[in-house]
Structure 1
């Protein structure tokens, strides 16, 4: 059941267009109250559900995002925007298997809804069953599919030889306008399949060539582990909730830029930059570490802000 068009107040529109970073803490709280109240009143409205899931993702409340989004899909059927936003949710919950199953269910629903009626009469004694959904194996038009379709295809491709898909995957990776999230998923797949070939990757304003077989998996990256450890030591006891959000943001940025990395591997610099960036985002006072170069700190925070904008606005 589809609900009618919903008009959001300006502050919610600002969040949807510019992300949580564009809001003060009090404004973010106002957006949350409005969306949660609207959801109670109109739980089947696609715009409200999408906005609320997006908000929960932005504040790292992924459990709530999953509950709202999955409940809507079960009640209301197929919706690309909600399904696309849920990709970030399930990624952070480390539950992509469930997400891919959900994508498959929704795509099958859409396919069955669009199945044309048979023109020929069917004997009364024949029980009609829905046609079996045949997985799409021709990836020539991969870049034209929706993000959920692309992610479902990538999940299926893990069980097949990816050689027939290399050319469309390369084209997708080299296109600066395609989803950086899907690009990260493709690159991980090429790594898993040990593809030994140079590929051009353009994303988040960066451009370079990589050999998937020569790059360590993101989960095995030493810099990532060291930065997480540094942040943990810094806030584990003094501010655990702040630490939890910091680690989520760092992981999001690392994945969205993957296989690219931070401009430098100065752990102290990036620990300081992320800590100051998030603290200032919430309007808190911050005293700089005198051991960190001020100009480098500014540049690092500008890079973080750029990754946050990419994260908030990646193509779904």
Structure 2
């Protein structure tokens, strides 16, 4: 029987040279001494794979990373060394505090020094130095907070002064979006003015009404849309799709169109939903449900490129042609103002 040869891939093992880690550390320290920080970092990284808890290589790697400007990586390595107790504790702490200073993280710097002093971990000869660093950190934290507060006040003042007036459509949308995550009550005067402004776009007024309703805004307001005026208490308004006018027209369109022409039904339903959003919280048609359903039917066929007969559709819904014609004209006017927004 022949002997089985050895040397296949599965038999190969990587055996590091004796004291390779020590040699890599020595070369890394030499590179540090000549300020070749990139080469030093590479050598220390290689050594760390072999001796991950060697103090000299870890501190050398931190110093290299700091000199290269890799502060985040150096910070994480310092935290690891402090947690594991690797290297000279106060040497690592001092490097860590310097990194935090470079990263402008005075809050973390202050809390670290406070913890050291509270736990009496600072040698007597270094207490004064650490206390001075703590005072500096606290002043920096206080100054940053002062600047943040001043910026918030400036932003709030600007927000208050021109909340809803003199803004583009995009700016209005952003402002109203912000109000959805804020308490809108302090801005009731600006909201009242916007609701009463006949030039205000119905789309934005509806967005704002919904926000106030969700926030249970119980203050009485007057709102103007399409030449109509109405006094509302947002908290007491029903949801848009619970409106009887909307639901009855939807029901009529579904009955007449869904089975015979699903595409036409979808188009008519989409128009109704968009217009109802613009009208909310108004009920534009009283109980003229058939006339409005006929108008949406007619307009949808027209949008599909057909030439529908207004009289035939009106007769189908058992209503007057002239009444349907007026509603169709009204819907076309609404379409002209709704397309830029919705």
Aligned to 1:141: 162
**What TM-score, normalized to structure 1?**
0.53
Aligned to 2:29: none
Matches within 5 A, 1:122-271: 126=102, 136-137=155-156, 138-142=159-163, 143-271=165-293
Structure 1 position 126, deviation (Å): 4.2
Ranges in structure 2 where 5+ consecutive residues have no aligned partner: 1-100, 106-146
Ranges in structure 1 where 5+ consecutive residues have no aligned partner: 1-124
* Residues 195 and 224 in structure 2, CA contact (< 8 A), matched pair in contact too: yes
Greater percentage in helix: 2
| Separation of aligned partners in 1, 2:338 and 2:104 | 45
Q: Root-mean-square deviation (CA), in Å?
A: 3.1
* Residues 257 and 307 in structure 1, CA contact (< 8 A), matched pair in contact too: no
* Residues 200 and 210 in structure 1, CA contact (< 8 A), matched pair in contact too: yes
Structure 1 position 197, deviation (Å): 2.6
- Secondary structure, counterpart of 2:174 in structure 1: helix
| Separation of aligned partners in 1, 2:217 and 2:241 | 18
| Separation of aligned partners in 2, 1:310 and 1:148 | 16
Compared with structure 1, are the counterparts of its residues 260 and 136 closer, same or farther at alpha carbon in structure 2 (3 Å cutoff)? Answer: farther
2:306 is matched with which residue: 272, 283, 294? Answer: 283
| Separation of aligned partners in 1, 2:196 and 2:333 | 20
Aligned length: 192
Provide, for residues 6-30 of structure 1, a one-character-per-residue CA deviation record: whole Å limited to 9, x for no partner.
xxxxxxxxxxxxxxxxxxxxxxxxx
**What TM-score, normalized to structure 2?**
0.49
| Separation of aligned partners in 1, 2:182 and 2:227 | 32
Aligned to 2:13: none
Matches within 5 A, 1:70-89: none
2:334 is matched with which residue: 271, 287, 307? Answer: 307
Structure 1 position 136, deviation (Å): 4.9
Provide, for residues 86-145 of structure 1, a one-character-per-residue CA deviation record: whole Å limited to 9, x for no partner.
xxxxxxxxxxxxxxxxxxxxxxxxxxxxxxxxxxxxxxx94699x999695433312233
* Residues 230 and 271 in structure 1, CA contact (< 8 A), matched pair in contact too: yes
* Residues 195 and 205 in structure 2, CA contact (< 8 A), matched pair in contact too: yes
Compared with structure 1, are the counterparts of its residues 199 and 190 closer, same or farther at alpha carbon in structure 2 (3 Å cutoff)? Answer: same
- Secondary structure, counterpart of 1:139 in structure 2: helix
